[in-house]
Amino acid sequence: MAVVPLAELDQLARQLAADRHDAYSERALSRAYEEYLARRRTPLGPFRVRVGEREYSTLFDLSADPTASTSPIELRLDPAPGPGAPWEFLRPFERILFDTDGSARVYPVAAGAPTRVIARFLLREHYLPRTRTEEDRAAAGGARVAIATHLRSLQEGLVGSRTIALLPFCVSVLTYYPDERITYDLDLIRSLVLTDPRAGRLPPQRRVRRSSRVSWYVDRLVGRGEMPLLASRCLAVIVESHGLTALEMTHVFGGVRELVDSALQGLAARGLVTFDRRTGVYRPRLDAFMPVPMSEHGGATSDSGGANPALRTSVQELIAAADARAECPLCGAPLPSDAKGILCDKCASEVAGG
């Protein structure tokens, strides 16, 4: 397993950030790099990237090439693991081709036709070069370099990273299928596709498959970058369940129980999950992500779930399924109330035809 050396990241930061990557920034990069390497997750397999006939050993090599953002980019598992337990909560693939329009083609491990999806990238862990003066000014509420954490295509992410000299350590690839969203985490320092954190720690039958529409609203909220990493990961897991305890979540993510407790309590305080004190179960509040349903008189409908958290969750799921004010993320057209996918019929046919 090859690891991108610190010297290479240091050189790239100096190339992109110039004077912003001074001696203070170098020391900060070294600390961030070592802290990231100390946190390990189970790898699914190594990956390589290719643009046309040129192959790049790491995504940082790709990021340094300004011409790459105007072409389709292929991410290939090398070698691709066979079907089995490592793919729990994921869909097996051999390679993914990211087109410049934000769509992607997912090629299965076994020979077969690729599946067309919408692909977006979500920044997870990173380093941004800053001088001591810039950091002190930002800490005091002054101007700071803006980091776009919202969902982007791979090509948009490459351009954005070069523009502000951002060094991404870990990103999530969000692939929106017609019936569900699948998330693949990429360790860019080690060039690894990672297993889902629930694999081997949570029975697959505990997962609730949400529609691409629901996942899109959750991902868009997380993409604002307003919540800590652990909290956002806990939220994604809880949403794809009927409820989990803090103990179960600690088993999924590892680490110290108090950190998971703090993350879950923060989610509850934001109104994104509910907490049942009798059972210790945290449940998702789907109405916190979906557009507010309107009554026939034009006013917002009230929460009719009562005091029972399980009943309230069920009512919210019905509201989410019946929501008629969702919009297509590509063209902005309203989706019908019975829509199953994330795209309108017009965009879905264009993506499939592409």
Report pLDDT digits (tens) over 5-41: 999 999 999 988 888 899 999 999 999 999 999 988 8
Query: What distance in Å separates the CA atoms of residue 204 and residue 288, rounded to the nearest whole number?
Result: 25
pLDDT of residue 301: 46
pLDDT of 105 above 50 = yes
pLDDT of 348 above 80 = no
pLDDT of 79 above 50 = yes
Given 1.10.10.10, 1.10.3080.10, 3.40.50.150, 3.90.950.20, which CATH number is that of 201-354? 1.10.10.10
pLDDT of residue 32: 96
Report pLDDT digits (tens) over 250-268: 999 988 899 999 999 999 9
- Give me the residues paired with residue 115 across strands: 106
Q: What is the DSSP letter of 226?
A: -
pLDDT of residue 332: 62
Assign 53 a pLDDT band (cuts: 50, 70, 90). Answer: confident
Report pLDDT digits (tens) over 164-218: 889 999 999 999 998 899 999 999 999 999 999 999 999 999 999 888 888 999 9
pLDDT of residue 47: 94
Q: Can you tell me the mean pLDDT for 77-100?
A: 88
pLDDT of 3 above 70 = yes
| Helix, strand, coil % in the chain, rounded to nearest 5 | 40, 20, 40
Q: Can you tell me the mean pLDDT for 217-222?
A: 91
pLDDT of residue 329: 60
pLDDT of 76 above 80 = yes
pLDDT of 89 above 50 = yes
The larger pLDDT score, comparing residue 177 to residue 322, is at 177
Query: What distance in Å separates the CA atoms of residue 1 and residue 20, rounded to the nearest whole number?
Result: 31
pLDDT of residue 34: 96
pLDDT of residue 143: 67
Lowest mean pLDDT among 65-69, 106-110, 198-202, 289-293: 289-293
The larger pLDDT score, comparing residue 30 to residue 58, is at 30
pLDDT of residue 64: 77
Asked if 90 and 182 count as a contact pair (C-beta separation under 8 A), the reply is yes
Strand (E) or helix (H) holding 56: strand 54-56
SS (H, E, C) 260-278: HHHHHHHHHHCCCEEEECC
pLDDT of 290 above 80 = no
Query: What distance in Å separates the CA atoms of residue 145 and residue 121, rounded to the nearest whole number?
Result: 20
pLDDT of residue 338: 61
Query: What distance in Å separates the CA atoms of residue 115 and residue 152, rounded to the nearest whole number?
Result: 20
Most confident residue range from 101-110, 183-192, 326-335: 183-192
pLDDT of 310 above 60 = no
CA 90, 92, 97 angle in degrees (round to 5)? 105
Q: What is the dihedral of CA 325, 103, 228, 280, to 10 degrees?
A: 60
Q: Could you tell me the residue ranges of all domains in the chain?
A: 1-195, 201-354
List the structure tokens of 174: 């969000």
